[in-house]
């Protein structure tokens, strides 16, 4: 690694985390210092003993199974904002007893039975979104999927109709993430229109909006959305025992959980769908086989929730896409005490950057790792620490079931309704702002149902991650 100063390497890493991480394990092993001689913090300001990259299933097992040693911490705010502190205090950034208590409180709200009841509403939103597409016209499927997953998140999490005034929650969250990761926000310039002022204003507005929504739901209970389920624990009937502390969330805790649930449930799902569609369009034989499976089981109709388990190729396609192009390519942790990771001794307060993208591209686990091969999942059964698109262990994402239900439903309906062809001379470059997405979106031409277009040559650094025609 060239020695350019750790701050320079931080900039290089943040500009392109996947490109930065990809060659490190092959050249330096499973545990790699961020720069020779140590560094300051990369993502976590509490790190006082530098940062290291961690690669491979052994490191993944250590980090996810020793939760008391490897703590999750929020990314430092670029400006002092109490609203952002509350918004970003969700489950992903909690540890030990607090994490266990809040995970226990949230888990029932995302139970499969509730998701099954919400599935018809999800189908209706997909139908409406697909009804806006026109055969023969160009569109950006990334933009379509962003609006659709945002509408589904609003409905499932908050019970909001997409036409309601509060549907700007998603746009505000996207703006906060963009500003939080912008170097301009870190400049000590708090003037009207400056990135810092925009960040402070938007976080305060979103917190107020969420509190208003919580109060509205308290006054009108009875909906079957996730927020209503969480609030129900605060409203035991007179003849019922009051909920215990282990079952409830304070309003501030609820604010943090809603922010994280929306961010995870919307942004990562959108990116997973877009990457999967790109892989299918570029592999016409797989797309044709999947379309046959969908028509054989669904016969052109929207899927019922129980039918999705009878679509094995769809399941394999999604698994392979999540392996090849994981929406979350890395996670950060902080050591709470001196420990060993692999053969490397680490002091307390060392930042760990666990590479999920390199884990999913390990040639010992996945031969020809850059090839899109859904058939590998016919016999492949990796451990949770070899394949972890949703995390692992007690850090497994509680929304994984919702995400898979949403991805399968959208793909099943879209691929039966339309053919898809990449727009001429496409370029696809990755961009990572926590979630890895396509910088240019996914420009396509909408074709009649049944159309299987030939693969198109794609330019851009997506070719560094996957073998394409």
Distance CA 340, CA 274 (A): 38
How many CB atoms within 10 Å of residue 103? 16
Spatial CB neighbours of 84, under 8 Å, sequence gap ≥ 6: 77, 176, 180, 199, 203
DSSP string, 239-258: TSPPPPGGG---HHHHHHHH
* pLDDT tens for each residue of 313-363: 999 999 999 999 999 999 999 999 999 998 899 999 999 999 999 999 999
DSSP string, 352-381: EEEEHHHHHT-TTTSSSTTS--GGGGGT--
Cα–Cα nearest to 153, from 200, 201, 121: 121
8 A C-beta contact, residue 90 and residue 261:
yes
DSSP H or E stretch at residue 263: helix 251-263
Residue 465 has pLDDT above 90, yes or no: yes
Pick from 193-197, 237-241, 252-256, 388-392: least confident: 237-241
Distance CA 330, CA 389 (A): 10
**22-34: average pLDDT:** 92
Cα–Cα nearest to 305, from 122, 456, 131, 59: 122
* pLDDT tens for each residue of 77-94: 777 788 988 888 888 888
Q: What three-state secondary structure class fits 266?
A: helix
**65-70: average pLDDT:** 96
What is the reported pLDDT for 389? 96
Helices and strands: H and E segment counts in the chain? 17, 12
How would you classify the pairing of strands 339-341 and 138-140? unpaired
* pLDDT tens for each residue of 220-245: 877 888 999 988 865 433 333 334 55
Q: How far is CA 354 from CA 31, 33, 58, 330, 379, in A?
A: 9, 12, 11, 5, 27
What is the reported pLDDT for 2? 46
- Per-residue pLDDT band at 172 (split at 50, 70, 90): confident
- Per-residue pLDDT band at 4 (split at 50, 70, 90): low
8 A C-beta contact, residue 102 and residue 253:
yes
How would you classify the pairing of strands 351-355 and 419-422? unpaired
Q: What three-state secondary structure class fits 262?
A: helix
Largest CA distance in the chain: 68
The residues facing 436 across adjacent strands are 432
Q: How confident is the prediction for the chain on average, in pLDDT?
A: 90
Using N-to-C axis directions, what is the helix angle for 195-219 and 251-263, rounded to 10°?
110
Residue 58 has pLDDT above 90, yes or no: yes
**406-419: average pLDDT:** 98
**295-307: average pLDDT:** 97
Q: Does domain 6-464 have CATH number 1.20.58.220?
A: no
What is the reported pLDDT for 65? 95
Distance CA 149, CA 125 (A): 9
Torsion angles phi and psi, residue 318, rounded to 5 = -65, -45
Torsion angles phi and psi, residue 254, rounded to 5 = -65, -40
What's the predicted TM-score (pTM) here?
0.92
379 burial class (0-12, 13-18, 19+ CB within 10 angstroms)?
A: exposed
| In the chain, domain spans | 6-464
Distance CA 370, CA 362 (A): 10
Cα–Cα nearest to 444, from 181, 134, 218: 134
Residue 1 has pLDDT above 50, yes or no: no
The residues facing 459 across adjacent strands are 427
**250-268: average pLDDT:** 88
What is the reported pLDDT for 121? 95
How would you classify the pairing of strands 344-346 and 339-341? antiparallel
Residue 287 has pLDDT above 90, yes or no: yes
* 286: DSSP letter: H
DSSP string, 402-424: HHHHHHHHHHHHHHHH-EEEEPS
**463-468: average pLDDT:** 97
């Amino acid at each position: 690694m060239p020695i350019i100063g750790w701050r320079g390497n931080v900039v290089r890493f943040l500009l392109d985390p996947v490109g930065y991480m990809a060659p490190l394990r092959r050249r330096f092993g499973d545990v790699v210092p961020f720069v020779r001689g140590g560094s300051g913090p990369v993502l976590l300001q509490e790190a006082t003993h530098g940062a290291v990259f961690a690669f491979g299933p052994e490191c993944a097992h250590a980090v996810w199974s020793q939760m008391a040693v490897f703590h999750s911490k929020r990314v430092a705010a670029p400006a002092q904002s109490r609203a952002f502190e509350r918004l970003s205090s969700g489950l992903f950034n909690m540890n030990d007893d607090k994490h266990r208590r809040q995970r226990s409180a949230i888990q029932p709200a995302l139970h499969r039975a509730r998701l099954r009841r919400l599935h018809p509403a999800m189908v209706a939103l997909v139908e409406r979104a697909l009804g806006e597409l026109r055969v023969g016209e160009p569109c950006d499927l990334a933009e379509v999927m962003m609006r659709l997953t945002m509408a589904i998140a609003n409905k499932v999490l908050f019970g909001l109709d997409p036409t309601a005034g509060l549907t700007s929650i998603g746009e505000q969250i996207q703006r906060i993430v963009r500003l939080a990761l912008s170097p301009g926000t870190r400049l000590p310039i708090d003037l009207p229109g400056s990135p810092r002022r925009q960040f402070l204003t938007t976080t305060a507005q979103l917190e107020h909006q969420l509190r208003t929504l919580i109060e509205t739901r308290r006054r009108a209970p009875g909906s079957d959305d996730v927020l209503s389920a969480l609030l129900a624990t605060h409203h035991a009937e007179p003849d019922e025992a009051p909920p215990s502390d282990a079952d409830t969330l304070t309003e501030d805790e609820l604010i943090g959980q809603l922010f994280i649930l929306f961010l995870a449930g919307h942004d990562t799902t959108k990116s997973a769908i877009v990457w999967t569609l790109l892989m299918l369009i570029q592999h016409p034989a797989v797309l044709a086989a999947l379309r046959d499976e969908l028509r054989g089981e669904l016969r052109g109709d929207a899927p019922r929730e129980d039918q999705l388990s009878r679509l094995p190729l769809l399941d394999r396609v999604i698994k392979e896409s999540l392996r090849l192009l994981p929406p979350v390519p890395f996670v950060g942790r902080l050591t709470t005490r001196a420990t060993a990771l692999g053969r490397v001794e680490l002091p307390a307060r060392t930042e760990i950057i666990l590479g999920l993208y390199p884990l999913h591209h390990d040639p010992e686990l996945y031969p020809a790792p850059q090839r899109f091969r859904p058939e590998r999942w016919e016999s492949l059964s990796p451990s949770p620490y070899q394949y972890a698109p949703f995390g692992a262990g007690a850090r497994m994402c509680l929304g994984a079931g919702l995400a898979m239900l949403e991805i399968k439903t959208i793909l099943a309906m879209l691929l039966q309704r339309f053919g898809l062809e990449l727009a001429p001379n496409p370029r696809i470059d990755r961009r990572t702002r926590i979630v890895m997405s396509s910088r240019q979106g996914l420009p396509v031409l909408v074709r009649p149902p049944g159309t299987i277009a030939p693969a198109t040559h794609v330019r851009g650094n997506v070719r560094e991650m996957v073998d394409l025609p």
